Chains A and B, each alone.
Chain A
Amino acid sequence: MTKIGWLEKWTLRFAVVGLIFLAMSGFEGSLMRTQLFAPEALRGMETALNTIRPVAHEPTQAELFYGMLTVHPIVGIYGFAYMCVMGAFYFLVPFLLKREIRHKKLVPLNFWLQAGGVMICWLSGFFGLFNALYTLYWPLPVTYDRVPLAGSIFFVIGAAVVMVNILLFSFNIFSTVLSKTNPGDYSFWQFLRAAFGISRLMKWLGKEDRTAPNLDYDGFSPFIVAVARGSVDTVINAIVLLAAGVLVLVYGVSALMGHTLDPAAIDALVYKNWFWWGLDMVADGSVLMYTAGTWYLLIPLLVNRRLYGESVVRTVIMVDLLVSMGVWSHHLLGDQAQPFIMRLLSGQIVTWGEFFTMGLTIFASLMTIWKARPVKMTPPLKFVLGSIFGFLMGGAAGLIQANVGLNVVFHNTQWVVSLHAHTFLLTGLGTLLFAVVYALIPMLTKLELRSKRLADVHFWTWMVGSVGMAYVMGMAGSQGMLRRTLYPTPNPFQPYLGLALVGSLLMTVGFVAFLVNIVGTLGWKNVLSLVVPEEWLEGRIRMAHA
């Protein structure tokens, strides 16, 4: 058994629970796709599960479907992606800065709050049949003849726990980066100024001394700058969603006490703008920045060459904040009530800013690999290349739909959720997180990966499965298949759904190969040591030897 350090163990715990959430989310996705393909296929399972649901009436198939559809992205994003990101950053940030995490007690607290908050949301969907979807379009979450009141209250409590936890995590990351042991020794306002790119802008305009140091120049690796910069988006996202949650909670508690508040008091379009502005900070802000930062970290490590174009990369990191703060209207391109100028500028033109920032990011990443030739195609490098492919494919689909003209026929179709969102999340972000796991395990445990062949099986089945699934569903979307809609059978979209199920099956094979490989590498004792107290485990081993 290898001795794994305290922080390394917590990183692995975050990863393990994150992967459990990925499995849950994937299972939910497969169930929903099965129901779309053959609506009666799940009837037996639903009947059995309904016996343990404490609801007044037998839930309809649609209520169950939309309850699952509501929690599916919460589990996938705030469960899988955030847990893995938290675990990875809690190891990498202090490792790269060569200092300790500033508030160690927050590490286990973040772990439990994140897992607990996501599970409260999940339970509110499973038992409480909360079905307003993650979009929470006003006033649906407070329309209690459509959305169960108890489910609504529990969901926003779970979401609030997650958001507060994300704020705590971001605080810990910021305070570690800004720690007094840092030779740069920045104040919070200096950091914020640098995070928004103001100091760099002032230098460019000649208003400030160009030779003066500032945060983004001053010795931090691009990864740290990207993490800190991405965390600005993360904080804004958490605050906005928290505010929306509090609003829903106020209406819910009020209804519970017999005082019905008027939903029309809140303008649905203003709310939608506010909500998407905050929500998009994750989709078009921190996810892209955290991903870029991770490429900037992993690629030079894997190919043993300095990052290409580091100066441009640092500017891109700063500029992207302005982009991510201004693109939310691409979610409102279908809203004719939204002023046209907002749809054109924020929805389309500013969104193309991401084409430039991600285009330059991917260029720097690929050029680093190109200039390091010959490179050894290790498992993490393959997954990094897979993630770049995922962001290229998902980004291209996103730019097609984020267009005032083309959105007329793409909005709310399967194109958006499959070819854009799922390609980003499964092929882009998911593959990158696998790359991080493959790269970090030797660093955390000093153990070599058990089987490169299994890693290859994982890579190809995951890539073919995720790309294939997204592609066929994207084509269904281009044929008019809506997202969030149950079609009676037979319908013209069933062949696409059948092929998508094959894709999800391939991904399952890849995920199992990954788990077998990781458990084989770590060994059962090390895996058990993540959940069982070490003293107890060592005692049991001694007893077994005796």
Chain B
Amino acid sequence: MDKEERFWLGVLAVVFLLVNVITLSPLVPWQEWMLWSRPTPDQTVSVEFGDYEIGLPPEGVEVQVGEFVEFVATSSDVTYGFGVFRQDGTMVFQMQVVPGHENRMVWRFDETGIYDVRSTEYSGPRHSDMLVVDAIRVSP
């Protein structure tokens, strides 16, 4: 390995370290609780998927800003996706919902508002209809 190759390998190593350290650190906001603090959730919300339906609690999902909510999603048939979206269509977070497993994710909402839930994984031709508008209400 000559001098130029060693220099280039060094550049690659620095980029590798920088990007991984930054993205595993709390500079990516949700890494703070997903990787580091691992808080006990303030509330748990069960979401049941099956037959192209997203089953949220009948009383609705009410969350306070700054509260840690654990979403536990299960599927009774095929793989789905649990995605939370803002009213303008941008994504807050998502996870896959694999049948036969409990799929858990803790989230902390930092903004008040009303959020939609949509299946983010293809589950058959009616997949695109799997949308629950105004599913989560986040209050101050």
Contacts and interface: CB of A to CB of B under 8 A. Distances in A.
Contact of B93 (A139, A409, A479, A492): A409
A287 B122 CA distance: 26
Interface stretch (A86-94, A140-148, A501-509): A140-148
Contacts of A493: 89
Interface string A307-339: 001011000000000000000000010111100
B65 interface: no
A269 B100 contact: yes
B95 interface: yes
B100 A268 contact: yes
Contacts of A137: 78-79, 121-122
Contact of B30 (A332, A408, A411, A486): A408
A146 B129 CA distance: 14
B77 A334 contact: no
Nearest to B86: A480
Contacts of A492: 88-89
Interface stretch (A278-286, A353-361, A433-441, A464-472): A353-361
Interface stretch (A60-68, A235-243, A514-522, A530-538): A60-68
A343 to B, nearest CB: 11
Contact of A487 (B16, B30, B128): B128
A408 B101 CA distance: 19
A173 B105 CA distance: 47
B5 interface: yes
A243 to B, nearest CB: 19
Contacts of B47: none
Contact of B5 (A312, A332, A405, A491): A312
Contacts of B30: 405, 408
Contacts of B125: 60, 62-63, 66, 131, 146
Contacts of A367: 4
Interface of A: 60, 62-63, 66, 131, 133, 135, 137-140, 143, 146-147, 264, 267-269, 272, 309, 311-312, 332, 334-337, 348-349, 352, 355-356, 359-360, 363, 367, 399, 403-406, 408-409, 411-413, 479-482, 484-487, 491-493
Q: Which 6 A-B pairs have the closest CB atoms?
A: A146-B124, A337-B101, A480-B91, A405-B28, A486-B128, A480-B90
20 contacts: A66-B122, A140-B122, A143-B78, A269-B98, A269-B101, A272-B79, A272-B98, A309-B2, A311-B1, A334-B81, A335-B95, A335-B103, A352-B20, A356-B9, A356-B12, A405-B24, A409-B94, A412-B121, A484-B127, A493-B89
